[in-house]
Amino acid sequence: MIKEYLKSPHLKLDWIGIRKVTETSTYYTVRNHKAEPPSQKFDQGYMIEVLHDGYFGYAATCVPSLSAIKECVEIAAKRAEQSKHFPLYKFSQEVRPYQRGEFISEVKIPHNKMTMGEIFERLQAVAPILKQADSVIDTVSSLIVVETETEIYGSNGTEILQRHTFVTSDLDSTASKNGVTQKRSDTESLQMGLEILDPKDLEKRAQKVGAQVLELLEAEECPTETCHLVLAPDQMMLQIHESIGHPLEMDRILGDERNYAGWSFVKKEDFGNLRYGSDLLNIVFDPKLKGEFASYAFDEIGHEASKEYLIEKGILKRGLGSLESQNRSKLYGVANQRASSWNRPAIDRMANINLLPGNDTFEEILGKVENGIYMETNRSWSIDDFRNKFQFGCEYARKIEKGKLTKVLKNPNYRAISTPFWNSLMALGNPGTFKSYGTMFCGKGEPNQAIRVGHASPVCAFKNIEVFGGAQ
């Protein structure tokens, strides 16, 4: 029905695009060994975009009928017409390329191949491992499965189908004793099926969470000092996201987001010149990495995605700019125009932003540190509007003395400024230390859009960083 409609002539518009999104989200939680009622959310709708005399107009509907879509085309055309009175940039059809293709997440165990009972059994099996002592006051093992189908049609013949399966498995344990409360967690967000509930993997992850939360109860406070800092991939995820991903979003650099999400310390003239980090720093935009949370073949305007270097040997090369931002900035970009759902227009977003691994084993990295601290798992974050000065807290830390991990430290934090921090990168873990994480909650845009992003990184070491204790 949509394809036929797009073939007929329309209101003298330059281009019409229809994006249909169908999404089912299912939530399973076991709290303190008890299964909570599962829930499921279904969402479906259509975003209609038109390009008219160089200006875009948008309208969306959740009514699945051709008459509702036609009405949206008329509303969007009126909005495009009105935009002419507030001109920002005149676009051509170049920013909506013709494209055909499909993408389907690789899934070994589909959601419908396990019963609800079997899923809860797997989640409940780890509950006793998360509670290894009476001081544990709360445990959670949960699973979220999101199945999304996105169909994109354009009046230029574009036809794209993408089916994504996103899974998030979370294990938490909170303990309290003598006025000290600590939480340890392990969250994995990947594109895969229910193989994420592999009993042996879950047990291993729960064992670490359950044991470490008790270690934290007895641990010393993280000291205040300047020393070498070693970060695990689950903290590197947040570090890359906040101090590389967001500052490189081209719409921020162009000023579009300054009212809400913020601006960027990066300027247009920095591309090709700025020494962002040490020679060890290689950052790629890679929506092609199998299983990573934000993998896709096309962005939501039909631009085919490819792996691109954003930072190569420490030098800033390319920003996170979609075809629209590339047109406006006259700079190279990537295929990253994405929307959180059918009722939002696509804007510049991160996808998978990864730090490429080096050669050192974890032990070799520690061996380079005479006095330092090793931190795992983000707990808190704060960064300024220009994505420059930051302060991040982690759940778990260990002192590094003479190249070896020693005592456990609680409430670890560190602070730095983005480019000096990345220039202090002194050692990079090998592929054996490389791990992929993701989140479904990267927020940006007015109205707000929470979107899924992925970040993979090896273990990394940084020279002379300010660390300090205290719950943030």
Query: How do strand 225-231 and strand 460-468 relate by DSSP bridges?
Result: antiparallel
Q: Rounded to the nearest whole angstrom, what is the least distance from the CB of residue 249 to Zn ion in the complex?
A: 9
In the complex, least distance from residue 439 CB atom to Zn ion, rounded to whole angstroms? 8
Whole-number Å distance between alpha carbons of 224 and 221 = 9
DSSP letter string over 179-204? TEEEEEEEEEEEE--GGGG-HHHHHH
Q: How far is the CB of 280 from Zn ion (least distance, A)?
A: 24
Instruction: Return the range that interacts with Zn ion (CB under 5 A); candidates 156-164, 220-228, 380-388, 434-442.
Output: 434-442
Using rule CB under 5 A, residue 294 touches Zn ion: no
* Backbone dihedral angles phi then psi of residue 17, each to the nearest 5 degrees: -125, 140
Whose Cβ is closer to Zn ion: residue 30's or residue 442's? Answer: 442
User: Which CB atom, from 397 or from 442, has the smaller least distance to Zn ion?
Assistant: 442
Are 75 and 56 a contacting pair, CB within 8 Å? no
Rounded to the nearest angstrom, the gap between the alpha carbon of residue 311 and the centroid of all alpha carbons in its chain is 18
- In whole angstroms, the minimum distance from the beta carbon of 260 to Zn ion comes to 12
Pick between residue 57 and residue 321 the one whose CB is nearest to Zn ion: 321
Residue nearest to Zn ion (CB): 442
Nearest CB to Zn ion, comparing residues 261 and 316:
261
- The span of 226-234, 360-368, 403-411, 437-445 binding Zn ion (CB under 5 A) equals 437-445
CB nearer Zn ion, residue 107 or residue 442:
442
How many residues sit close enough to Zn ion to count as binding (CB under 5 A)?
1
Amino acid at 457: S
Q: What string of DSSP letters covers 337-360? A: EE-SSTTS--EE---BEEEPP-SB
**Which segment (136-144, 226-234, 418-426, 436-444) binds Zn ion by CB under 5 A?**
436-444
Contact stretch for Zn ion (CB under 5 A) within 87-95, 334-342, 376-384, 441-449:
441-449
Identify the helix (H) or strand (E) that includes residue 52: strand 39-52
Amino acid identity of residue 233, one-letter, is P
The answer to whether the CB of 298 falls within 8 A of the CB of 335 is yes
The CB-of-385 to Zn ion minimum distance in angstroms stands at: 13
SS3 468: strand
Nearer to Zn ion, 319 or 372 (CB): 319
Euclidean distance between the first and the last CA atom of the chain, given in angstroms as a whole number = 54
* Token reading at 217: 């109860």
- Helix or strand or coil: residue 408? strand
Among 152, 316, 346, 442, binds Zn ion (CB under 5 A): 442
Which residue lies nearer to Zn ion by CB, 238 or 426?
Answer: 238
CB of 454 to Zn ion, least distance (A): 12
The contact set with Zn ion (CB under 5 A) reads 442
